[in-house]
Structure 1
Amino acid sequence: MEHLERPSGEVWDERRLWFEETQARHARAGAAAPSEQACALMIDLQSVFCAGAWAATVMLACAVTEAQGGSKRETLPGVADRDYRWLRALRNRLSHENRNDPELTVEDQWLRRDLWEERARRAVVIAFSALYPAAGERASEAGDKA
């Protein structure tokens, strides 16, 4: 893609700091035993978030959340049901395109980056809530404001 550019160092650092501070805030509330796969996926999640790959961030955040909770669980400790439903529904709409009404368009990549960044930040907060369930509903609500 000829128009793809990496973010500036300043933008990358702002995103990295937000990610790390959000994780630290959740971790201070107490961690469950994070699964090996969830921890490994977090490395990629931080990379795609810092790069500004918003749809990939949503999809990986959902994978982290499900890896932590197990694929059979409908609810997760520390994650509000409405947040988990929102994340899964968004991931599913991204994964299973409706050609008459796509969830993400090329135009979105140019004109709706801030909306997709908000969605990505909320998805990251939900993933942290799954990893650090003691942060609970309080952390999830903070993500709604991000």
Structure 2
Amino acid sequence: MEHLDPPPPDQWNKRRAWFESFIFDYEERGSYLVGEQASAFICEVQACFCSGAWAATIVLAFTVIEANLQETSGASKKQRSIDLLRSYNSGQKFDALRKRRNALIHATPDYPAITIDQQWDGREALEFEAKEAIKLMFMAFYSQTGT
């Protein structure tokens, strides 16, 4: 499968620059409350994105959102992701990403969330979906201002 080969260096660098442009843009805006685990997972999201692992990027992008909301919520016990999103007033796009992540990691045999045909022939659509997930990830990650 062609997407299992490493991307050419220029493609990797283009994806890396696209990803890091969000980091630089948000970091220039001020101080934020960020969780340790969420911060660590951003590195994983970037590696998956640069390599073209689109489904993994989508799953991990929501993982960052969930981890950061959990870590910065101030709650003494772990909350469900749907409850975290409600308290964050995140809107439809975040809930749609949560549902997409859930569909990808919790297989439904009659309705697969991703198929081998999509991996072969739907690369552009998966890449677009991964980019949208990353945009939401950064929006949520940098949403809570610090001191």
Alignment check: 8 A CA contact 1:37 1:67 kept: yes
Alignment check: 8 A CA contact 2:6 2:51 kept: yes
Structure 1 stretches (4+) deviating beyond 4 angstroms?
A: none
Alignment check: 8 A CA contact 1:31 1:133 kept: no
Alignment check: 8 A CA contact 1:23 1:128 kept: yes
* Offset at residue 2 of structure 1 (A): 8.5
CA distance in 2, matches of 1:97, 1:119: 19
Question: Once structures 1 and 2 are overlaid, which stretch shifts more, 79-88 or 18-27?
Answer: 79-88
Residue 91 (structure 1) aligned with residue 101 (structure 2)? yes
Alignment check: 8 A CA contact 1:38 1:67 kept: yes
CA distance in 1, matches of 2:22, 2:60: 17
- Match in the other structure for 1:59: 59
Residue 126 (structure 1) aligned with residue 133 (structure 2)? no
Greater Rg over alpha carbons, structure: 2
TM-score, scaled relative to structure 2: 0.82
| CA offset digits 1:33-75 (Å, max 9, x no partner) | 1100011111111000100000100111011000110152133
In the superposition, relative to structure 1, how do residues 108 and 76 fare at CA in structure 2: closer, same or farther (>3 Å)?
farther
- Match in the other structure for 2:33: 33
* Offset at residue 131 of structure 1 (A): 1.3
Supply the RMSD in Å over aligned alpha carbons. 2.1
* Offset at residue 25 of structure 1 (A): 1.9
Alignment check: 8 A CA contact 2:3 2:52 kept: no
| CA offset digits 1:73-113 (Å, max 9, x no partner) | 13364x74112101100000101112112110111111000
* Structure 1: 5+ residue stretches without partners: 136-146
Q: 1:74 is paired with a residue of what secondary structure?
A: helix
The code of the aligned residue for 1:87 comes to L
In the superposition, relative to structure 1, how do residues 4 and 109 fare at CA in structure 2: closer, same or farther (>3 Å)?
same
- Match in the other structure for 1:114: 124
CA distance in 1, matches of 2:94, 2:56: 17
* Offset at residue 31 of structure 1 (A): 4.2
